[in-house]
Structure 1
Amino acid sequence: MIGAALVATPALAAPGGAKGDGDRSLTRAEAQTRAAERFAKMDVNKDGKIDAADRAAKRAEMQAKRFASLDTNGDGSISRAEWDNQNADRAAKRATRVAAGEAREGKRHAMRGPGKRGGQYAMGGRMMRGADGNQAMSLAEFQTAALARFDAADANKDGVVTAEERQAQRAAWRAQRGTTAPKAQ
């Protein structure tokens, strides 16, 4: 069930607010709809459950996309020149970010792992488990977990999670994990 809780986080921690209309609040119905939309994206093979087959399909899709980006002439192989061009492009982008002041000063970039942004959440190394422990998660289980997180964040129980309630929930999660809030840049 922990995998479900981790997956549901984006419904509450959406950057720029939860709704596209500028309102930074999220209703319970919107959270349920967002969970269904996220589930649909994660259910790569559209079999009504998220499981190892979806992870494998997503991994294959990402590898094919990465290969296509490297194989610039489309000949089905990556030449030394294509590889070198990719490295040069990446170095140029990094230099541009550093020049623009976007680099993290004095911070090491640690390896990402379970529970860290960009790390291994439900579609990564840890296997998601449905409520029945079957190594797969249904839409109903996914939405139940999302709504449980919504209810935990809805401090005043009015059916709406505000930006302030989301911030308070994030602070509580960080405190529970023993981490501190990231510095504002």
Structure 2
Amino acid sequence: MTKKISLFALGAALIAVPVLAAPGGAKADTDGNGTLTRAEAQAHAAQRFDKMDFNKDGRIDAADRTAKRVEMQAKKFTALDTDGNGSISQAEWNNQGAERAAKRAERVAKRAEAGEAGEGKRPGMRGHGKRGVRHAMHGGMMGKADTNGDKAISQAEFQTAALARFDASDANKDGQVTAEERKAQRGEWRAKRAAPATPAS
């Protein structure tokens, strides 16, 4: 008997929680001159908030994450259900797995050719994984933006957090952030993450 997988049975295993990129950086440099102004950072933050406020209720919270997850599941299911009959057969599932394996092998081969495969790292691993994403959403960047502790981030809180990151990167306080300043800021953040935790006294 052909095995079937329903839409709801796919669950969260088929999707990855998207990384919530901090507003600012090179993408916010709308004029492409290599320097980010405070106005550009503010405009980019507004765009990011609008994109992350999935249900358009003026705040980013668990409801937005749930709605986004449901949409991603539906899209994934549609992509897997190639014959459009409302269910996924074993053959469709296996075909999807084979395609993913082929793409993964291709990426690994390209990295090997470019000499980018880091020693001691598993091929295909990026960033800090889902644990790092959860930290960024709850205990890290997004948690810090929630200044009133209501488990939601308003547009004002989002803008304040984005501009605070801009100001932290603006080393000479001239109202703009260069590529060198962004690089220096990333170096400081990496150093803080790598530093051992201070034991409680």
The TM-score, its normalising length taken from structure 2, stands at 0.74
Pick 1 or 2: higher relative contact order, CA cutoff 8 A, min separation 6.
1
2:38 pairs with one of 28, 34, 53? 28
Query: How far apart in 2 are the matches of 1:125 and 1:66?
Result: 29
Give the structure with higher Rg (CA). 2
1:112 pairs with one of 105, 123, 129? 129
1:130 pairs with one of 142, 146, 150? 146
2:175 pairs with one of 149, 159, 164? 159
Higher helix share: 2
CA 1:105/1:156 → structure 2, altered by over 3 Å: closer, same or farther?
closer
Q: Answer yes or no: is 1:172 the counterpart of 2:172.
A: no
CA contact (8 A) 2:30 2:40 kept: no
Query: How far apart in 2 are the matches of 1:8 and 1:144?
Result: 15
Root mean square deviation of aligned Cα = 2.7
Q: Answer yes or no: is 1:9 the counterpart of 2:22.
A: yes
Corresponding residue of 1:96: 106
Amino acid in the other structure paired with 1:122: M
- Superposed displacement of residue 9, structure 1: 2.3
SS in 1 for 2:150: coil
The TM-score, its normalising length taken from structure 1, stands at 0.80
Moved more, 146-155 or 120-129: 120-129
1:81 pairs with one of 82, 91, 99? 91
- Superposed displacement of residue 8, structure 1: 6.5
Count matched residues: 168
Show structure 1 runs of 4+ deviating over 3 A.
Answer: 123-129
Corresponding residue of 1:3: none
Corresponding residue of 2:60: 50
- Superposed displacement of residue 122, structure 1: 2.3
